[in-house]
Amino acid sequence: MLYVLEPAATTAPHTGAVRLRFLLESLTALDGELRARGSSLHVARVADGADVAAEVAAAAARCGATTLVYEDDDSPAGRQRDAAVGAAAAAAGLAVVTRSGHTLYPPALLLDAAGGVAPRTMAAFTSLVDRVGPPRPPLPTVGDDLPPPPPPPPPLGDGEAVADGAVPSLGALGWDAAAAAGLRVRGGEAAALQRMEAFLGRRGGAVVRAFEKPKTSMVAWRTPDTTVLSPYLAAGVLSPRTFYARLREVEAAGNGRHTRPPVSLVGQLLWREHFHLLAGSVPHFGRMAGNPLCRQIPWDDPSTDAAAAARHAAWATARTGYPAVDACMAQLRKEGWVHHLGRHLLACFATRGDLWLSWEAGAATFEELLLDWDPALNAGNWMWLSASAFFNSYFRVYGPVTWMRKVDPEGKFIRHYLPALARLPTAYIYEPWKAPAGVQAAAGVRIGDGGDYPAPIVDHAVVSKVNIDRMAKAFRSGAAAEKGGNKAPAVKVGGVGGWGGGANAKPAAATGAPSRGGRSAKAKADAAPVKTEESGGAGGLRTRSGRVSKKR
């Protein structure tokens, strides 16, 4: 099995140390599983700008493979690359087999059932899924009947390639291991299944059956209130169909007494499914310009506006001066993970609530930092929180002082993630700039310029009102545009991609990023000619830039 590490998967700003460590651990675990079955994983690195498709095809042919197997990537950029790989492989005389397994359903199946137009609301999506019926059950785990590994293929790319195919270390990829020390989730499928079963078994399944996402706690950092399976789902380490099937079993044990979508855990998988379907079918889903789903709002752009860049930097480095916001960012930077509701606070504050930054800028920061980064979910959720799409109540603004205080009156979460503030009296923990000098001194902290923690970079009471007015204006002009007959076109399905260009990231000019969004492949291959079918549950590994293929 071959896994290709593209530069964007191993370097900032697209990838941070924490997620890279998780990926490398998962690759190591996959290699171990393959070796236990008499095969192995070969990791190859390619240089920036290399023609990966041609090199993969050439390497496969040179080591005697007859079939190239990989999993579909449902993102536009991924589909473009898949097409290139498929074409290059076919030209090299290889049979090509692709599978759909990253989502519960093959996207084309849902789009067909929906008449070619992806639903735009969760309610409509849920009824679509009800009509289609449950997803296929996961396939069994591969056994020990894998063919022996072929001779190692020649290295891909230039001298950067890892000749022996071993999973590289963080250090070998140019990272300081200390930067990834905050990782709290172990990589690999065995760890994923163990975490999944541990959660499913909480109070005999009662926790699953009573699960309501909005009611989970964002300040339970020692033992998160949610599953924290998203990193595994995002990387392709855990099959969504495996998770779904087990959830249904645990729900069934309650004799019909369990929560339901959208708040249940199955509902969380449907959110994921919904955003994936939209990301694969709405033009430019990952950005504002040219995205028919996204309200056009005159955000400040940090790439062209120095003041906006300063605000963005303060937000991204946990220096806004609002402890609730900064504690969330501190957790994200350290661990690569924050609770869903913490992400709400961060995203609302960065966009319509306070800083008025483009949601694309915030999404780019999350792309680097999130362990569970997924282009479809990231864009969908940033559009949601910025009230650019899906969500219209732009006046519901999270208060950076009031909101978290309701669930954590003593500020334990803040004290843990912002240790400089740990000794402040509870009265000031959410508003440290109000603490008198004597109180600050007693707490061993100095707030403000040159101190240990900054004063607020904006006055929430003032800017939130200004921003609500701006949002109201943007909503009015959006409504006017729609009345003027400028409606967004229906979202058409289609194999034919008219929207090729890198729809999942910021505009290419802003990042210089190569297209990414990769997938992996399954170990179990039929030697069939080009065809597509669903792949299954166990054992795969998928990343945005990885590609695994089986040689025989």
> Rounded to the nearest 10 degrees, how much is the dihedral formed by the CA atoms of 392, 396, 397, 403?
-140
> Rounded to the nearest 10 degrees, how much is the dihedral formed by the CA atoms of 359, 365, 369, 373?
40
413 in contact with DNA (CB under 7 A): no
What string marks each residue from 267 to 286 as x (binds DNA by CB under 7 A) or -? --------------------
**Binding window for DNA (CB under 7 A); candidates: 9-17, 325-333, 388-396, 424-432:** 388-396
- Count the neighbouring beta carbons within 10 Å of the beta carbon of residue 93: 11
490 in contact with DNA (CB under 7 A): no
487 in contact with DNA (CB under 7 A): no
397 in contact with DNA (CB under 7 A): yes
Q: Which amino acid is at 43?
A: V
- Cα 40–46–47 angle (5° rounding)? 165
**Binding window for DNA (CB under 7 A); candidates: 187-195, 201-209, 336-344, 534-542:** 336-344
Rounded to 10 deg, the angle between the 323-335 and 340-348 helix axes is 120
Q: Alpha-carbon distance 4 to 296, whole Å?
A: 37
**Binding window for DNA (CB under 7 A); candidates: 275-283, 391-399, 492-500, 536-544:** 391-399
398 in contact with DNA (CB under 7 A): yes
**Binding window for DNA (CB under 7 A); candidates: 44-52, 192-200, 398-406, 517-525:** 398-406
526 in contact with DNA (CB under 7 A): no
458 is in an annotated binding site: no
Q: Which of 395, 444, 482, 531: binder of DNA (CB under 7 A)? A: 395
Q: Which of 190, 472, 490, 527: binder of DNA (CB under 7 A)? A: 472
Helix (H) or strand (E) holding 100: strand 95-100
Residue 433 buriedness (CB in 10 A; 0-12 / 13-18 / 19+) = middle
227 is in an annotated binding site: yes
Q: Alpha-carbon distance 373 to 382, whole Å?
A: 12
402 in contact with DNA (CB under 7 A): yes
212 is in an annotated binding site: no
Q: How far is CA 45 from CA 149, 284, 512, in A?
A: 19, 29, 19
Rounded to 10 deg, the angle between the 52-62 and 76-91 helix axes is 40
- Tell the smallest beta-carbon distance from residue 398 to DNA (Å): 5
Q: Based on CB atoms, which residue is closest to DNA, 56 or 278?
A: 278
Q: Alpha-carbon distance 11 to 17, whole Å?
A: 8
270 is in an annotated binding site: yes
- Tell the smallest beta-carbon distance from residue 232 to DNA (Å): 21
Is there a contact between 502 and 77 (Cβ–Cβ < 8 Å)? yes
What is the SS3 assignment for 458-510? CCHHHHHHHHHHHHHHHHHHHHHHHHCCCCCCCCCCCCCCCCCCCCCCCCHHH
457 in contact with DNA (CB under 7 A): no
Task: With H, G, I as helix, E, B as strand and everything else as coil, classify residue 349.
Answer: helix
223-262 binders of DNA (CB under 7 A)? 262
132 in contact with DNA (CB under 7 A): no
Give the count of residues interacting with DNA (CB under 7 A). 21
Q: Please give the structure tokens belonging to residue 271.
A: 């959110």
DSSP state of 193: H
Cis before 13? omega within 30:
yes
Q: Which of 47, 191, 210, 468: binder of DNA (CB under 7 A)? A: 468
263 in contact with DNA (CB under 7 A): yes
543 is in an annotated binding site: no
Q: Alpha-carbon distance 320 to 454, whole Å?
A: 7
- Tell the smallest beta-carbon distance from residue 406 to DNA (Å): 6
Q: Which of 49, 148, 151, 214: binder of DNA (CB under 7 A)? A: 214
374 is in an annotated binding site: yes
339 in contact with DNA (CB under 7 A): no
Q: Which of 184, 202, 340, 416: binder of DNA (CB under 7 A)? A: 340
Point out the annotated binding site for FAD. Answer: 226-230, 268-275, 372-374
Point out the annotated binding site. Answer: 226-230, 268-275, 372-374
Residues forming the site for DNA (CB under 7 A)? 213-214, 262-263, 340-341, 344, 393, 395-399, 401-403, 406, 465, 468-469, 472
